[in-house]
Amino acid sequence: EPEVTQTPSHQVTQMGQEVILRCVPISNHLYFYWYRQILGQKVEFLVSFYNNEISEKSEIFDDQFSVERPDGSNFTLKIRSTKLEDSAMYFCASSSTDLGYTFGSGTRLTVV
Amino acid sequence: DQQVKQNSPSLSVQEGRISILNCDYTNSMFDYFLWYKKYPAEGPTFLISISSIKDKNEDGRFTVFLNKSAKHLSLHIVPSQPGDSAVYFCAASARNTGNQFYFGTGTSLTVIP
């Protein structure tokens, strides 16, 4: 069964450093998303991406965040200057239509 | 503003019995709903969906019921199995607002052998 692959599974970074979280969506999917879940809290939407541009983003997705699909297969989330409160599980998802998603297994980001 | 609510953070059920997980929403424009299951340290896994033109959808041991007038949906698991122990999220979307899904805070289900 096709999978959404996320790397790394766990990233530890110092506050103020830049991190790039990587995702390989399912190959024929057209819609791509990032979500995050801070420990013990709800899953939060960050951004959706379609046709090589951001289609929607939440309040959380401020200027510190950016997404890119650099080579037609990878979908990356960059956080320019990490803060302690960015520590969370980050989930990538993709879908072929607007009905339901396939999620990756997540990247746990720990900012120290 | 929490548009999708799961008011029970946890639920314990004996193996073989029915598990009922509840979800309420506030936005009457929502027309598509999903349930996800999440094990620790893994991404959410799609479980079952329902669109607003239906009031019930069944897939094996899992049935989702939608009550549009009450803005309420529920997931029934019959019979419950220990492997069903996980966190269950409901999510809702409205076609006319793009592809953003709104998630509830989750209900942690424990099925006791």
pLDDT at A5 over 60: yes
pLDDT of residue A100: 62
Query: In this structure, how many other beta carbons lie within 10 angstroms of the beta carbon of residue A12?
Result: 12
Between chains, do B46 and A100 touch, taking CB under 8 Å as contact?
A: yes
Average pLDDT in the A106-111 region? 93
pLDDT, tens digit (0-9, with 9 covering 90-100), for A73-102: 899 999 999 999 999 999 998 887 655 678
Give dist(CA B43, CA A105) in Å, integer.
4
DSSP assignment of A60-112 equals: T--TTEEEE-TTSS-EEEEESS--GGG-EEEEEEEESSSS--EE---EEEEE-
Residue type at A36? R
Tell which residue, B57, B55, B18, has the closest CA to residue B47: B57
Interface test with B, best of A4, A42, A110 (most B CBs within 10 A): A42
pLDDT of residue A99: 55
Spell out which residues of chain A touch residue B105, defining contact as CB-CB under 8 Å. 41-42
**Half-sphere exposure of B88 toward its Cβ, with a 13 Å CA cutoff?**
30
pLDDT of residue A37: 85
pLDDT, tens digit (0-9, with 9 covering 90-100), for A20-75: 999 999 888 888 999 998 887 778 889 989 888 998 888 899 999 999 998 878 99
Give dist(CA A59, CA B18) in Å, integer.
39
pLDDT of residue B98: 54
pLDDT at B17 over 70: yes
Q: Are A68 and A79 in contact (CB under 8 A)?
A: no
Tell which residue, A78, A82, A74, A98, has the closest CA to residue A12: A82
Give dist(CA B47, CA B57) in Å, integer.
11
Spell out which residues of chain A touch residue B44, defining contact as CB-CB under 8 Å. 43, 91, 103
Between chains, do B98 and A56 touch, taking CB under 8 Å as contact?
A: yes
**Is the CB of A48 inside 8 Å of chain B's CB atoms?**
yes
